[in-house]
């Protein structure tokens, strides 16, 4: 007897659950809100390519969470650089996650969370529609929202060149 084809898909792996464009779009949107909170200017697009490498790495996410917003990027980078390979790994993760970042920016743009100005190379986080409400998040990713906003705040204060220099990344 031949069994009928199964409509079931294989279960998603842990990286597939966490590293997906929808979650990435949400993280970049929260980053943009944090970046724009100070003076409403959009973030330089290259900075969006650092959001996922920093937030999807558990140890780095924990360091962001344990660093006060007022402490700034320099203190966070100093904590990260206590083990030099942690700081150097940010650039490698950015390269590995650039496709996911592009997919996330595209999804955020389609969902009207983000507006990309290709001429100016900036990304703006849009306010939610008045009818919309902020999505309810699963417990395992709630800490990501605050960390993304904090990153946005730090990056806004530092600027593109200083972020690249401090985190030892090349754009």
What does the pLDDT look like over 25-80, one tens digit per residue?
999 999 999 999 988 999 999 999 999 999 999 999 999 999 999 999 999 999 99
Mean of all residue pLDDT scores within the chain: 89
Task: Tell me, yes or no, whether 2 lies in a domain.
Answer: no
Residue 13 phi/psi, 5-degree rounding, is -75, 165
Task: Tell me, yes or no, whether 44 lies in a domain.
Answer: yes
Domain extent, residue 86, equals 18-127+139-167
Q: Comparing 7-21, 49-63, 82-96, 106-120, which segment has the lowest mean pLDDT?
A: 7-21
Task: Tell me, yes or no, whether 36 lies in a domain.
Answer: yes
Q: What is the pLDDT of residue 37?
A: 95
Task: Tell me, yes or no, whether 88 lies in a domain.
Answer: yes
Task: Tell me, yes or no, whether 84 lies in a domain.
Answer: yes
Section 75-91 average pLDDT: 91
Task: Tell me, yes or no, whether 114 lies in a domain.
Answer: yes
What does the pLDDT look like over 117-154, one tens digit per residue?
999 999 999 998 766 666 677 777 778 999 999 999 99
> How many domains, the chain?
1
pTM: 0.86
C-beta pairs of 98-102 under 8 Å, 24+ apart in sequence = 98/49, 100/19, 100/20, 100/21, 100/24, 100/52, 101/24, 101/28, 101/48, 101/49, 101/51, 101/52
Task: Tell me, yes or no, whether 63 lies in a domain.
Answer: yes
- 44 in Cβ contact with 122 (< 8 Å): yes
**Per-residue confidence at 165, pLDDT binned at 50, 70, 90?**
very high
Q: What is the pLDDT of residue 1?
A: 44
Task: Tell me, yes or no, whether 47 lies in a domain.
Answer: yes
């Amino acid at each position: 007897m031949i069994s009928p084809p199964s409509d079931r898909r294989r279960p998603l792996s842990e990286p597939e659950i966490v590293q997906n464009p929808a979650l990435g779009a949400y993280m970049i949107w929260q980053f943009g809100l944090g970046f724009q909170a100070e003076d409403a200017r959009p973030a330089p697009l290259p900075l969006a390519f650092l959001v996922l490498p920093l937030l999807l790495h558990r140890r780095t996410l924990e360091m962001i969470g344990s660093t006060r917003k007022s402490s700034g990027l320099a203190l966070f980078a100093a904590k990260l650089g206590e083990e030099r390979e942690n700081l150097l790994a940010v650039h490698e993760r950015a390269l590995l996650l650039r496709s996911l970042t592009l997919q996330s920016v595209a999804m955020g743009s389609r969902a009207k969370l983000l507006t990309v100005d290709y001429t100016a190379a900036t990304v703006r986080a849009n306010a939610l529609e008045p009818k919309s409400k902020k999505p309810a998040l699963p417990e395992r990713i709630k800490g990501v929202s605050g960390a993304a906003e904090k990153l946005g705040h730090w990056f806004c204060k530092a600027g593109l060149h200083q972020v690249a220099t401090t985190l030892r990344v090349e754009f």
